[in-house]
Structure 1
Amino acid sequence: MKQILLALLLLGNMATVSAQSERYIAAMTKQTSDLDSAGTFTPEALQQKGNTFERIADAEKNQWLPYYYAAYTQIMQTFILKDKSQVDPLADKASANLDKAEALSPKNSEIACLRSLVATARLSVDPMTRGAKFGPEAGAQLAAAKSFNPENPRVYLLEGQALLFTPEQWGGSKTKAKETLELALSKFAAFKPESDIAPKWGEAYARQLLQNASK
């Protein structure tokens, strides 16, 4: 009798876990499905997305992706806001979420890519005074991302972006940017996300940057 009760209890626990997992996947699928759409790239829409991802993260504390996507939306906001005084607070929030993501998934190339973007965002506030600190930090995070996964196309996208927008006297190069962005697109063509909710952003942006680098 005890064995039967134990078996029923285990089955009940498994069913609960399965239901929780299904709810998590459904919530994440809904939030990531339109993440790269033009309508999402407004400060208001990104903030709403970020808040939702943080609520999912609070409910699923053993999953790194909600923290990652919350950070992603916060970083993207920094690049479209006109008020530069809002950049550092958003970068702080993104960094805190990435710390939580990294605690769950160490040596993660995707997380390192976002850390590079956090440094780039901070640099953008005042390139002349912040470049010496945050430029190398952005580069170091990309180098780490590449060492964790050299097949991650977002590494080469961000490298190409940096080469394209950095002045030549500081190491930028349209020619090198073009080569790197072409490599990024070849990596995107071969890249297979680990799941339907895994990071897959950037290919359309890489094509846009390549057009600019080819002019």
Structure 2
Amino acid sequence: MKNLFLFIGLCIALNVTAQTPYQTGMKKAFSLWEAEKMTEASQLFERISTVETENWLPFYYAATIEIIGSFGLKEEAILTAKLSKAQEFLNAASSKSENNPEIIITQALLNLAYIAFDGQKYGMTLSGKNNQLYAQALQIAPQNPRVILGKAEWEMGAAAFFGKSTKPYCDEIKRAITLGKDEKIEQEFYPKFLLKRALEVLKQCEN
């Protein structure tokens, strides 16, 4: 859970110079998130989205927080409520930025939250959807290191579930790391590749 939080929650560019209300609000929301004040962070991202009406990022991060918070839940009603809310945020983000690979792979993460809660109930339908989502994201952005890493990690999980070797996915993880090191982030607050997380996944793959 902690690694997942670090992977998504801290994958942001915070090299902010001009302090516009949007920038100030986003920095505050990320600070709340880093302090594990998840509800406050999500609410602030949601408030920012009501002002930044054409910006997909506040919706995207609000959705991500709700998804992360659903992992480890024991009550299905609470899980469903959080993921339904996350789905609304993702739908809103997608309406602002169609065919966005970052949103697509976050949809796959949402599906994974359901599968992690009850694989027998959700695995059959959502596993196939996740395969399609990662294929779609990779087609849109074949050099996106987050997409490559996410797809490889998803396939590693499936391989491990069926008792197969995860080593065939190591090369893709290494490719993601190479691309991540060279990636240039131009949009402020855009999700950023987290090298430390990728190295942890690679270590799991090689074991």
Which structure would you say has the larger Rg? 1
CA shift in 2, pair 1:51/1:193, >3 Å = same
Give matches, 1:181-200, under 5 Å: 181-200=173-192
Aligned equivalent of 1:98:
90
Question: Number of residue pairs matched?
Answer: 188
Change (3 A) 1:149 1:55: same
CA-to-partner distance for each residue in 1:157-194, whole Å, 9 max, x for gaps?
Answer: 21222122224574954112322221221121122223
Which residue does the alignment assign to 1:70?
62
Between the aligned partners of 1:184 and 1:33, the Cα distance in structure 2 is 27
Q: Identify which range, 167-176 or 110-119, moves more after superposition.
A: 167-176
> Using a 3 Å threshold, how does the CA distance of structure 1 residues 167 and 84 change in structure 2: closer, same or farther?
farther
The answer on 1:118 being equivalent to 2:110 is yes
- Determine if contact 1:163/1:172 at 8 Å carries over to the other structure: no
Deviations 1:71-118 (A, max 9, x none): 111111122x34252322222111111111111111111110101111
CA contact (8 A) 2:32 2:41 kept: no
Q: Secondary structure at the match of 2:20?
A: helix
Contact 1:56 1:66 in 2 (8 A): yes
**1:55 corresponds to which of 47, 50, 54:** 47
Q: Match of 2:142, SS? A: coil
- Which letter maps to 1:83? K
**Structure-to-structure mapping, 1:11-160, within 5 angstroms:** 22-32=20-30, 37=34, 39-40=35-36, 45-79=37-71, 81-85=72-76, 86-160=78-152
Deviates more, 1:154-163 or 1:49-58: 154-163
Tell me: CA distance 1:172–1:71, structure 2 relative to 1, closer, same or farther (3 Å). farther
Does the 8 Å contact 1:72/1:94 carry over to 2?
yes
Q: Distance in 1 between matches of 2:135 and 2:119?
A: 21
Question: What is the DSSP-based 3-state SS (H/G/I as helix, E as strand, rest coil) of the residue aligned with 1:166?
Answer: helix
Structure 1 gap ranges (5+): 1-20
Q: TM-score, normalised by structure 1?
A: 0.78
TM-score, normalized by length of structure 2?
Answer: 0.81
Q: 1:27-63, CA deviations, whole angstroms, 9 ceiling, x for partnerless residues?
A: 223434685x5x53xxxx2222111111111222221
- Which has the bigger relative contact order, CA under 8 A and spacing at least 6? 2
Distance 1:105 1:171 in 2: 38
| Partners of 1:181 and 1:210 within 8 A in 2 | yes
Structure 2 gap ranges (5+): 1-18
Partner of 1:180: helix, strand, or coil?
A: helix
Greater helix proportion = 1
> Which residue number in structure 1 is paired with residue 4 of structure 2?
none
Q: 1:183 to 1:56 in 2, by over 3 A?
A: same
Identity %: 25
